[in-house]
Structure 1
Amino acid sequence: MPREKSAVSVSFLSIWLKAAIYLETTVACRFDLERRIAMQLGQAVLDDLLIPSFSSDTSFDVDTVQRIMMNYLESDMENHSVYNADDEYYSSPQRDVFRVGKLLESYLAEIATDRNLSVEKFISLAELMPQKSRTTEDGMYRAIDIYLKAHPFLSDTDRKKVCSMMDFQKLSREARAHAAQNNRLPAQHVAQLMYYEQQRLRDNMDGTGSVGSESPSTPDKRNVYSSELYPASNELNMVLVVH
């Protein structure tokens, strides 16, 4: 297999990795493929990470994806090489960070429905989210909401642990309105969200806009929670009642 970066597509590398896992090839072979996928993770799509699990109770091989993400972060954040071919060192390009963050959010949302996915495993993956990609938390909120819905019998402690992976101040208006009415969230986090909303409204009325202020531009169509379900007027009424 050619060793130059991008000589082989990440989708093709993913197919090889899935086959290597199924055929139980050497650990060195699998780790090599994982490192090469990490080098091109910004070009990957969700299907490339949906690796079937052949040795655990979960539907997908979460451990393999976790190692791929760790390889990616090592190269991107610490500027370490993830592959060495003929003394040429490669690292993850900065422009891919945002794309990788969105990819991991989609992956978390996909595996969140697995009832055998433990809280610890979900959190360990969420913690690998590149910080530079977290300009909004809508994708993370969606994944967390799906996980809580698929695991209705979690203890309050575990639900708080899962929700601690999210920064409520970075939610869009639509996501905040959805979260404020979401009975799957711990009461403590809903109260925290309502506090931020009240503070944001006070700042907007004062003209400071220091907390969670938003520009009057058209809402981002990529938001995962539609404003048709939770219009702005409902959000304001809900906050004002608490206030």
Structure 2
Amino acid sequence: MGAYGTENNSLILTKFLMHYLKAAVQIKGGIGSRSDYGGLANTVVHGVKIQSLVGEIDGMLDEATLDDLLISGHGGGVYDVNLVLRLVRVFVSDDRMTVQRMKKVGRLIDKYMREISHDQNLKISKFLAIAESLPDSAKD
């Protein structure tokens, strides 16, 4: 499994792992420990965070909750700020977005920024990128 954890960018591997995890959960007790499944699930999560999925999710960003955005990070951070940043950028680039939907996402991103500000490993540049990712019309 050369692409484990955050290195998974293979849709084929992701589909295989999703099938395996589904089958393992259906077997009473499964094989291995809960932490084994956690590692595989983490690999699946990182595998589905490919660009096509971002394109599908971005239109629903205004329906997301803070918990939806608090995805565990990799590379030293507590949260995956890069994924949220990509989602916001794709959402904002849609010319059909209404001001009301933009403001809703603006309130969500404000909550998100309050939460991620506690992460001591978060780079200032990433925090600023999130803060600047929305147009002024999205802010009250």
TM-score normalized by the length of structure 2: 0.64
Distance 1:22 1:93, change over 3 A: farther
**Count of residue pairs brought into register by the alignment:** 100
Does the CA contact (< 8 Å) of 2:99 and 2:137 recur in 1?
no
- Amino acid paired to 1:98: K
Q: Structure 1 residues 93 and 133, CA, compared in 2 at 3 Å: closer, same or farther?
A: closer
**Does the alignment pair 1:39 with 2:59?**
yes
- Give per-residue Cα distances to partners, 1:99-150, cap 9 Å, x unaligned: 0000000000000000001111111110013311222xxxxxxxxxxxxxxx
In 2, Cα distance between equivalents of 1:69 and 1:108? 13
Alignment CA distance shift 1:56-1:42 (3 Å)? same
TM-score, structure 1 as length reference: 0.38
Query: Which of 120, 125, 135 lines up with 1:120 in the alignment?
Result: 125
Aligned-residue offset at 1:20: 8.0
In the TM superposition, residue 21 of structure 1 has moved relative to its aligned partner by 6.3
Q: 1:73 to 1:20 in 2, by over 3 A?
A: farther
Gaps of at least 5 residues in structure 1 are: 1-18, 80-90, 136-243
Structure with a larger share of its residues in helix: 2
- Compute the displacement of 1:56 (Å): 0.9
- For 1:33 and 1:20, the matched residues in 2 are separated by 17
Q: SS where residue 58 of structure 1 aligns?
A: coil
Aligned counterparts, 1:3-82, within 5 A:
22-23=43-44, 24-25=46-47, 30-53=50-73, 55-75=74-94, 79=95
**Does structure 2 conserve the Cα–Cα contact (< 8 Å) formed by 1:52 and 1:59?**
yes
Query: Could you tell me the percent identity over the aligned residues?
Result: 29
RMSD after superposition: 2.1
Distance 2:99 2:138 in 1: 10
Question: Which protein shows a greater Rg?
Answer: 1
Taking structure 1 as reference, are residues 67 and 21 closer, same or farther at Cα in structure 2, changes over 3 Å only? farther
